[in-house]
Amino acid sequence: MTGDLPRPNLPPLSLHVPEPKFRPGDAADFSDIVVPPAGEARRPDTAAAADSFHDLAYTLVRVLDDDNQAVGPWNPRLNPDQLRRMLRMMALTRAFDERMFRAQRQGKTSFYMKCTGEEAVSVAAAMALARDDMCFPSYRQQGILITRDWSMTEMMNQIYSNKGDRLQGKQLPIMYSVKDHGFFSISGNLATQYPQAVGWAMASAAKGDTRIAATWCGEGSTAEGDFHSACTFASVYRAPVIFNVVNNQWAISSFSGFAGAEATTFAARAVGYGIAGLRIDGNDALAVYAATSWAAERARTNQGPTLIEHFTYRAEGHSTSDDPSQYRSADEASEWPLGDPIARLKAHLIAIGEWDDARHAAQDVELAEMVRAAQKEAEKNGILGHGLHQPLDTLFDGVFEEMPWHLREQQAQMLAEETASGRPWDRK
């Protein structure tokens, strides 16, 4: 050894830094993405050993073909009423997003996140789960609450942090918490919901319950330690949990390569943990429904966890604080080879004679009016842009079941200082 001197007979080491394929101004070309024919992927028995279908972590489970027909062993064979409800809930989620996005731009709230192009990931999955299964979402699964018929006005109250907000303005807008609808509190700290979901699922199994847990994260969050801790516990204890990895190609401004997409699929992470792994077309609502139903049956029959990679695309910015034109090609969304989940399910219903363009247009008008009416009702409780709507002393509520003495002292001190200042907080 010669200290820090390089070995002259070896080439110098180099570091690989992932780079997205397209940048602003580039033409998007997704021709390298392999899209297998719909119906080609096999469907194992739900009791099959996880190591007997590793191939499903590397392909793409698809149901809707190029002729808008549902084909193959993963076809869930939903009846027309179920298909129409699925379409309606996805369209309602998009209508809700559009109006709340405009509300943020109008200064009525500080923040919003749309799920445009990803509606199937939450809506179809929610339809496949039992209503009392517990969902541990990330921040782009508002479709779960909408599909479970939670009040849009209540959702808007939370977004506006107004006097009707059940969370008393203590959560960032869109970070809902609705225990009675099986929707665990959203956290802005990425992937925390993964070990929480596993813990809940383990508790359900320990109690001999029949409810399972499902959790969602983006592909970027799979680089978090919480993701891997959750997979370890779920694998060891065969927890009845479904891991959903929403691979929408982008974190806020860094592409999926920084989370490992250049090396292999995200579903392949299941292989290393010895759990079931599926990679599915996340813009195919029927594939999402079928995969979730299959994974739920595995969980309920004590076959253990399943990791589902939803291969999709974030059509909009990460949030209202993001400008995707600064880091990606302008035509990526239009060139995405798997299309739009709403358009694809609509085309399927039309192809089987159970829908038409006129009914769809009428439904869009109806849903837009429903969302407008919900917004009008929510805004009676105030909007975030008009200041504080919660009594100031509620700042200390919800931390402990019974407020300890030191917080009572701090609360009293705060209120005394507020009174002494002569400028009490706005409590409209």
| CATH number assigned to the domain comprising residue 356 | 3.40.50.970
pLDDT attached to residue 427? 46
Please give the pLDDT value at position 227. Answer: 98
Question: pLDDT tens, 284-313?
Answer: 999 999 999 999 999 999 999 999 999 999
The whole domain housing 416 covers 391-421
Same domain, 324 and 398: no
What pLDDT was estimated at residue 425? 59
Residues of the chain predicted below pLDDT 70: 1-4, 423-428
Q: Do 82 and 229 share a domain, yes or no?
A: yes
- Indicate if 245 and 116 belong to the same structural domain: yes
- Is there a domain that residue 160 lies in? yes
Domain check: are 397 and 380 in the same one?
A: no
pLDDT at position 428 is 42
Is 209 part of any domain?
Answer: yes
Judge if 349 and 395 occupy the same domain: no
39-62, pLDDT tens digit by residue? Answer: 999 999 999 999 999 999 999 999
Q: pTM for the whole thing?
A: 0.95
Give a yes or no: residue 35 inside a domain: no
Shared-domain flag, residues 412 and 281: no
The answer to whether residue 240 sits within a structural domain is: yes
255 within some domain: yes
Per the structure, how many domains does the chain have?
2
Query: Would 38 be classed as within a structural domain?
Result: no
Pairing of strands 306-311, 241-247: parallel
- Judge if 75 and 195 occupy the same domain: yes
Per the domain annotation, does 40 fall within a domain?
A: no
Provide the pLDDT for residue 423: 65
Q: Are residues 298 and 280 in the same domain?
A: yes
Residues 349 and 377 occupy one common structural domain: yes
Together in a domain, 410 and 362:
no
Q: Give residue 125's pLDDT.
A: 98
Residues 371 and 415 in one domain: no
Q: Is residue 283 part of a domain?
A: yes
Indicate whether 258 and 397 sit together in one domain: no
